[in-house]
Every structure is written in C-alpha cells, then in structure tokens.
Chains A and B, each alone.
Chain A
C-alpha cells in the first residue's frame, strides 16, 4: 500500500506532530492515535516513509513486534499500512527546519513550501546518523572510496550500484557486518572487518551469519591507521592496538583495497532537541527523557535512536509508541505523572533510559552494559528488582520491565541499575 497522493494541505495546528517516519515515528503516530489524538502529522525528509528500514533488505526485523522474522522494508510496510488505515497525515520530502518552544514548527517541502504550524505535542523521531572518518581522525589522504557503511548500503540496496571492487570494513557495528555479507554476495571482494575493541560491536548473530558463514575474517583489537590514494583509495594501513587502544605501529601492515566502509557507531541525530535547549545525556548523546519519553522541554517528546542507539528496530517502535501515547495524552488534556524517581547507571552500566520515572506506571527500562560478562549475570534495579540472565554484551541492549508493585513499600528517590556477575551477588 504505497502512499498514493502527496499531502498538499497542512492543517494550521495538530495535536501531535512527529518528526521522522522510521520505526520510531510511525509507531509514535499509532500510539498517538490509540490514545485519542485527532490531528496527527508525520513528517519525513525522504520521498517515502520508512527511514533507514527501507535500505535494510536483510531479515531479522519483527521478531518481537510481529513474532516473525521479516525484512526492513516489510517491517516498514506493516507500520505504514496501519498509519494509512488510521488516517494519519503523512508529509514526505519534507524537512523540519525548526521546532520552537510551545510546538511552533517550521518546515519545508516542495508541495507545501516553507511554512509553519502549531503542534500541541511534538515527537522527535529522527533516528541516528553515522559517525564519519572525521570523528575518529584517521590520518592520510582523502580519496574517494571511503564512506560510511550506511551510504554503501543505500547505493547497493536501493540504487543497484557497488561502492568498489575490493573492500575493507572498519568497525564491527551491525551495519558493517551486514554490509560485509551484502558486498560479498554482490561479488565484491571483502578482505576483512577490523575492530578496535577486543569484542565485536554488533550482534553475535550478525557476526555468525555475516562473517563466519562466509569466511570473512574479523580482526579484533585492530584498526585503520592510514588511508592512501590521491584520487581513488588504493590501500589502507591497519595496525593492532594495545590494551589502551593505542595502535602498535611497528606491527602495522598494508591492505590493498579501493573501498573502506566505516561502521564506527551511530550518534543520535538530535539537533532539534539541542536547539530547543533540552538537557542531554553525555553518554547516549541524546536528550534526557522521562518515563513518558518527554524531554526536558515540556510538550517535546523523543524516542528511538534519537534518544539512544537501539540494537533492534522492534525496541525502537515499542519505546516510540509510549512517546506517541503520552504526546497524545498531554495534547488532549491529561496530566503529567509525577516523576520523582531517578534511574542512574551503576556497576557495569553505561547509561539508562528513561532517566526518570513515576511510581505508578509500568516502565520499560533500557540500558547497555560497559563490558561483556560471559556467564550468569545479575541485573539489578536498586533494591526493588533483580533478574538473572545468561550473559550480557555491550552490543545488545538490555531491557527490564518495572511494574508499580515492585516499588510498593519503597520510598527512595534514586534507583541504581547494575549488571554484575551472578556469583558476586550476595543473596
């Protein structure tokens, strides 16, 4: 069910306006509708809704949201069908230039021009952007052929071009692993994946299915230290790193490649929240959010990768639905819950989302560990809840459900989240 006609008329005001129509934005729109918002606008800068899902033609989506394994475009399609069924205004090829306090939004698109509208609630769902060469400062020449894995994914999967003939991949993030496999299947020689850390950055299932099954070597504790080529990339210099992640240049070697894909992490694309003056979490790089996914700017919500980089689209949609529901609730006159409990990262936990919660709601608490624990691990939410899991790795986000009954009889103000070896926990 593609979008048949481009939206040509915008209302002057909306109950809920959502920026970004990927797995977060579409789920937020459905959440807003379910909670009774009438006028809902979903804006996306691309020609079609779906966001990055559209270029993720591999399977692995939907295991949690739909109980079956589907591809990214299929996942997007299922959400889009619901969005259209629920009569949500979808404006594509459109860019939100500015969100002011009070929900005044400035946007541009070829169909509506440069225009403004008022939204009672705003949901930021812009996702993340890829870190680039500049962010990790690889010295050397600046030839063509060095690009982010996501850009390569777009050119291969959506447009049918190849980035080169012989490729190396820096970083073992999921997009890099997926692209190693994709390029190999397309006939590009993939010489290897190089990862600075002593463990893969992507999901283990991707390491197995994308590298191991195709005999693509994974070089852990190794990084690219030089880029060579005046016009087109000719070779890269790689080197192992020591325990402090410093390259050991005496042990470096050269690899002849015409393509280097960078899969070195994602950064929440949260500039609109920054411009609004929202409080940010330095670890996630995204805005601080409450249990309703509201930022510190009243009426401005955020969910998905714009808040923290998730490992699965399914989690993004789940979180964004909460944001959409509360955005609608506030727009239609509901009262904000009292949020007097703070969630803070404790032992071996890098960050926790949300940052605050109320005592009376059910909350999904998401976090990532700093270091892998390859054995029984105890996850603790302060004194109120603990759960034992088989293992934890930084690549996989951990989620816990926190129900009001767990907080009964607890009167503290701060809940520390820990992830520690189970045997270390004294019962």
Chain B
C-alpha cells in the first residue's frame, strides 16, 4: 500500500551530513524530506564533537576522508558566508614533542602541500612560544596550518536546517525508520517506501545518512554491505576564565587510530580538551568515564601544562560512526535509488559540505533531475544573539520588544524573546533550547534558567510541564504531584 504522494528524495538522518545535503538539494525543484529519529536535528554526534573544521592536512588523500577534507573546509567558508554562524579560522598548530615526531610533521607538511592546502609553515620552538606562550616548553617545533577553524557545530547544523526548511525541505523529527521496501511488487527498481512508527512515505531516491544506524538502514534496503561500529570520544569543557589559554587549535602528532587529544579554543571562547577514541560495542554509549578523563587530561597537560581537571564545567561524549572499511561509505548501491552517505567518522564534520556535493553528483548520475530554482534563498534569517550586541542595539531591541529586556539565562545573557524564537524555529526540548540559544550552557549549568526554559517550552508549545523533555524519549523533567504514591513508602 504505497502512499499516493511520491517524494523526490528522502534523507534518513538529520545530522550534519543529512541536513547539509538537504539544504543543497533545496536549490533544485525537488520534494525533499529529512527523517530524524531523535526529537531534534543534530542531537547525535553532530552536536557532540570537537567543533573543528580541519585545515585539510590530516587525512590520507588516497581515502575519501582525505579527498573530501580540504574541499569540505572550503565548503564551510561558503556556508558561513551564506548563513553567518559562528566560525573562526583560528588555525592549528600540530606540535612535535620529540625528535621522532619531527618526521611526522615533515611528512604531514609535504603531504599537505601536495593536497594544495595553503599557508602551511614549519615553526621552530621560539616562533611557537611567541604565538602560544602557554604551550609546554617541551614543544620543539610545530606545523602551522592557518586554514583550520572552529565552529559551533550545533549552531551551524540548526541554521543549515532552518535554511533548508525555509527553502521547502520537510524536516520530520522522532521518525526512526523501521522498514524500507519497494513501492510496487515486481518493481525492484521503482520507488521505495519508508516506514516509521507513525508514517509511511514513498520516494524515488533515498539517502542513507543514518550515522551510527546506517548499517541497519542499509540492511533494511537489502544492501547491507558494511557494518558500523562506534568509536567514542569524550570532551571536557573548561571554565570561561581560561579563555585565551590557547588561541589556535593545538594538535599532538597523530596516532594510527586518532588525531589525539586536542586543546581547542571553542568559538564561544571556552577551552575544550578531548577527544578520546575508544571503540564501543554500544552505539548509544555517550557516558564519560574516569579513564577517559584521566587520558584526556594527561594528554592535554603534555601540550598545555596549565590545564587542570578542576576547571571542568561540563563534559560530554559523542560516538563516531566508523565503517569496517575505516573510510566514508559514499555512493550508489545495488538497490537503485538507494545511496549511502555513511561511515562518517572524523573528519566528517569538516567534510560534510563536500559529502553533500559528492552525493548530489551521485544522485545526478542515478538519474535525478536537478533543475535550479530561481527562488532559492541561500541566506538564513538569523536568530538574534542579544549578548553580542552593542548597548545601543540592545536598548533599541528592548524598546521594541520587552521580551528582549527579560533575562532568562544570566550566565550567557539570553533573553526570553530569544528562547521564544528558538521554540518557534523548532526547538522542542530543553536541550534544543540550550543548543539554539546557549541558555543553560554557562557557569551555573542551568541552575537558574532551567525552570524558566521549561515554563516557556510548555507555554509556547501548549503542553503541560510534565510533557516537556530534556531531549525527547523518556527524558521527562517533572512529575505532577498526584503522579506518585500518596503515602510515603518507608525507608529504603
């Protein structure tokens, strides 16, 4: 029983890859739907990563990872120009702490130049020290790559998603895909039907950007040619007081499985250290661990001795989706119309715009007609960020709309009007509000503003407080009084 309407493209997965692809597709006369299993887009590893747009030097150019890293970096600049999210090209320093590591630097330097990455320089210890005085005295040399940048990954994903939606893409959340089948029996090359617990949709093309579940989705389509395993990365955010400790991304020399533990000046001015790289059998395992913290801080202190566990204000973990080939899995499959954008491990965030371009070419080859729209709007209506405005701008805004004079989160200076706007843009959960507005991300970690955000979510969405969640599913936040046993149930 195929639905009567047939979409042109359905993208499974509303992470950075799926969302960026959807926005690119919105340039054309196409009917595009994104199906996201979580309560909001970008709630997987897209919001739980280092937020680095890599310089382009890291991945082997013989792999898809390496081939798309540098074009992805350039793609982010274009996205930034269109959408105006926080993105600063702070550059990176890949440092050598021993004579053996000098060889690694030389190798990456030469390979980076062959890849065409501009601005690479070998710096001696004195130059490194002048640029980053807080680095360890053990640094003997470094490779400077000015093209590296830091981005707010969640802010970027949300703005890309908002822009895609403004251009007509339907973004459907809480839609985990449960089955994929041909729309018509006996027409294996015809349209596909996608089932979720609440919807059934038909489509001519299906892009599998399902992240950690991409292998399961491929199996549903009968093309389970790869497996995905999780590789967890723990990250630790330090107090704002340490802003400026480093002003570029600091890399150690890489190991075979990882770029190592980095010290990153985030776009918002905090210092972040991490990630770890631990294989995990449980793809949902985003727990931080004492061992992870120990490893991160031991490694970070080798680079920047002043870093201390005591300055942690928040910690999180993301799980990278690693294919068994250890490379991106991109392209057409044995099932006509079913295209993979899978196995997106590091440098996946960096490569995302290039992956989108690559997949669009695949779709074109597969017969998708791409007619450009004349009414496509590349620019996003930007949410107001009250805290960064001048006093005069703040006063003008507050005079025109009192919600801009009503403070909700004082650590990050977020106003009620910004929260309401975030909800109108699609924030459905406390985490959604937090990642869109930064409310609750500061020093007090939501101690004061959580309740106000909850009230605003309930009011604007017209739901009871008991139905507001932290991030969807069963992550409820409060219970009604009569929802517990009336009689105290004795001691434990």
Contacts and interface: CB of A to CB of B under 8 A. Distances in A.
Interface of A: 45, 93, 95, 97, 106, 108-116, 129-130, 132-135, 137, 139-145, 147-148, 150-151, 154-155, 159-165, 184-192, 215-217, 225, 227-228, 230-232, 269, 271
Given A141-B287, A230-B284, A134 B475 contact: no
A139 B288 contact: yes
B79 interface: no
B475 A130 contact: no
A217 B478 contact: no
Contacts of A190: 492
A376 B313 CA distance: 41
Contacts of A108: 394, 398, 405, 407
A217 B492 CA distance: 8
A139 B285 CA distance: 12
B88 to A, nearest CB: 23
B484 interface: yes
B256 to A, nearest CB: 27
Contact of B448 (A116, A129, A142): A129
A162 B410 CA distance: 25
A132 B488 contact: no
B110 interface: no
A160 B484 CA distance: 13
7 contacts: A114-B395, A129-B447, A139-B292, A161-B466, A162-B478, A162-B484, A189-B489
B471 A137 contact: no
Given A110-B402, A130-B444, A162-B480, A135 B290 contact: no
Nearest to B411: A271
Given A134-B445, A140-B288, A217-B491, A161 B480 contact: yes
Contacts of B430: 144
Going nearest first, the 6 A-B pairs with the smallest beta carbon separation are A144-B470, A110-B402, A231-B475, A161-B478, A113-B398, A95-B407
Nearest to B284: A230
Given A163-B478, A187-B484, A188-B484, A134 B405 contact: no
Given A116-B391, A186-B484, 5 more contacts: A114-B394, A134-B314, A144-B430, A151-B451, A215-B490
Nearest to A152: B478
Interface residues of B, number: 62
Contacts of A271: 443
Nearest to B466: A161
A110 B406 CA distance: 6
Contacts of B478: 155, 161-163
A135 B487 CA distance: 35
A188 B443 CA distance: 30
A133 B491 contact: no
Contacts of B479: 161-165
B33 to A, nearest CB: 26
A189 B488 CA distance: 7
B315 interface: yes
B410 A95 contact: yes
Interface in B302-341: 309, 312-316
Interface in B157-188: none
